[in-house]
A and B are shown apart, each in its own frame.
Chain A
Amino acid sequence: MKDNKNTPIWLKASAAYVSSLMSALFIFIALCAVDGLMKSGPSLFCSVWDPERGNFGILPMIWASGLLSLSSLITGWTFSVGCCCFIHGFGPRWAARFLANILRIMTAVPTVVYGFASVFLLVPLIRNGLGGSGFSWLTASIVLSLLIMPTMVLSMDSAFKTIEAQTSITSAALGFTREQNIAMVVLPASKQWIWSSALLGFGRAAGDTLIPTMLAGNAVQYANTPLDAMRTLTAHIGLVLSSDVGGTAYLSLFVAGGILLFVSISANILFRLMRKKIWMQG
């Protein structure tokens, strides 16, 4: 960035404020995580969470976070690509507009509403229909995939819109139908945007706390079937913090937080690199 003498002082001040706050956060988490690692050591990477006996295992939570975010991402992303194709030519115009508006409204719905509605509607459905307690990997994954869809669809949609605007007349003049243009021209040309929106969705899915806390059951175990309960890293941090803990258990949470931060930053950097590549090519 170039140094501009005309930059107002308040702008410089807020920039400095935000960046120092962010770096303080990173340093704080890193220091505490190192402290946690030193104190709890190898017991962190076992499967038992029993702070009173000195077992601070967070492996089941890491497993749960990975499983839940990836499964939600796969369903959410697939449906997002489908929604985008539907909006841009495979659906009738009124239905396309309706769907686009619903997705836009969905971005404004607070997460807690999804959780709350699911506890009363989806959980009993799964409990009665498939068995188990209803608070499970499956339940959380369904709702989480819905939650991350609008972000992904809107990001793909902007790419679709640009490319469709550039190509629709051309391909019509070459005898393509609108559907063929989407499938053969727009979809391949927006490939990188579609992948990068998956990273965006992954970041949201891995970081969400409320949905897994409310719907995944929170049992510290390795969930092996979709009907098993699980506890994600985010839910774990939230739950342990809301009870009264101190000492090593408290510090071990920073290791969990550090892992989350690392994963979401990596996804973010990857996302930015892909965008940059797209700009360079464009």
Chain B
Amino acid sequence: MALCAEIKNLSVSFHGRKAVSQVSAELPAEGISVLLGRSGSGKTTFLRALNRLNETFQGYEGSGKVCLSLGGKMKDIYSADQLTPTDLRRKVGMVFQIPNPLPMSIRRNIMLPLQLIPGFNRSKAEDRMETALKTTGLWEEVKDRLDTPANRFSGGQQQRLCLARTLALEPEILLLDEPTASLDKKSSELIEDYLISLKNRYSMVMVSHNIRQALKLGSFFIFLREGKIVTAISKKELPEGKEAEKIMSDLL
């Protein structure tokens, strides 16, 4: 089985309080891996260890090893000679729980991250913006309003913008932190559909506390409790239908 991530003895604490302790896991490159657990189980910290976002918070301390499959090779993302955190975060894109457009126009939200890549030219950035907005079905809705502040749009549109903004950077791995948790049912389903359509192009790791969504999107499940992995199962090992849901909620 090809892997997108290999985590060994990962421990992360903030101000001396353990968020994740001694976690080891292997995530498949195919499909969406879903991290499940109650609030405070360490799923978000686990996810943020994959793009080194934890270290932007105060009081961070971490140990262990995380290797990601980038550019066809497994790379130790915490070793100094491989990648800088900023390069890494462009290759490992992230979508957050609450839509978080930057306080600027739609166009600038997508173009600015591209313009900060050294040696990136502007006309190429315009193309990438259009492609990314088309991929998330937003192009037709916003093409005449690209210079409108992003926060004027609905929550669902904003979240699709955030997804498009991440895709425009052409990442290799997508990290999704409960991407539909703050949206209504219809917008959630729309996002879910786009994620399904993207899962053959990117390795994805998603945090969720919604079992139905996890079963719909995911193919590999990791259950966390109090900063430790309880169990990891792939979808093939689960029975069909209602029974799978019951097994999953027992594990939660």
Q: In whole angstroms, how far apart are the Cα atoms of A177 and B93 in the complex?
A: 15
Instruction: Determine how close the nearest CB of chain B comes to the CB of A194; give it in whole angstroms.
Output: 14
Q: Which residue of B lies closest to A281 (CB)?
A: B149
Q: In whole angstroms, how far apart are the Cα atoms of A236 and B117 in the complex?
A: 57
Q: Are B51 and A173 in contact (CB under 8 A)?
A: yes
Q: In whole angstroms, how far apart are the Cα atoms of A185 and B115 in the complex?
A: 13
Q: Which residue of B lies closest to A178 (CB)?
A: B56
Instruction: Determine how close the nearest CB of chain B comes to the CB of A167; give it in whole angstroms.
Output: 6
Q: Are B116 and A176 in contact (CB under 8 A)?
A: yes
Q: In whole angstroms, how far apart are the Cα atoms of A173 and B47 in the complex?
A: 12
Q: Are B51 and A180 in contact (CB under 8 A)?
A: no
Total A-B Cβ pairs within 8 A: 54
Is residue A169 within 8 Å, beta carbon to beta carbon, of the partner chain? yes
Would A175 and B116 be within 8 Å (CB), given that A168-B56, A169-B53 are in contact? Answer: yes
Q: In whole angstroms, how far apart are the Cα atoms of A170 and B159 in the complex?
A: 13
Residues in A67-109 with C-beta less than 8 Å from chain B? none
Instruction: Determine how close the nearest CB of chain A comes to the CB of B250; give it in whole angstroms.
Output: 34
Residues of A that sit less than 8 Å from B by CB: 163, 166-177, 180, 184-185, 188-189
Is residue B89 within 8 Å, beta carbon to beta carbon, of the partner chain? yes
Q: List 30 A-B contacts (CB under 8 A).
A: A166-B100, A167-B102, A167-B103, A168-B56, A169-B53, A169-B96, A170-B100, A170-B102, A171-B102, A172-B89, A173-B53, A173-B89, A173-B94, A173-B96, A174-B89, A174-B90, A174-B165, A175-B86, A175-B87, A175-B89, A175-B90, A175-B169, A176-B86, A184-B112, A184-B116, A185-B102, A185-B103, A185-B104, A189-B102, A189-B103
Is residue B64 within 8 Å, beta carbon to beta carbon, of the partner chain? no
Residues on A with beta carbons closer than 8 Å to the beta carbon of B169: 174-175
Residues on B with beta carbons closer than 8 Å to the beta carbon of A170: 96, 100, 102
Q: Are B86 and A177 in contact (CB under 8 A)?
A: yes
Instruction: Determine how close the nearest CB of chain A comes to the CB of B44; give it in whole angstroms.
Output: 11
Residues in B107-132 with C-beta less than 8 Å from chain A? 112-113, 116-117
Q: In whole angstroms, how far apart are the Cα atoms of A102 and B90 in the complex?
A: 38
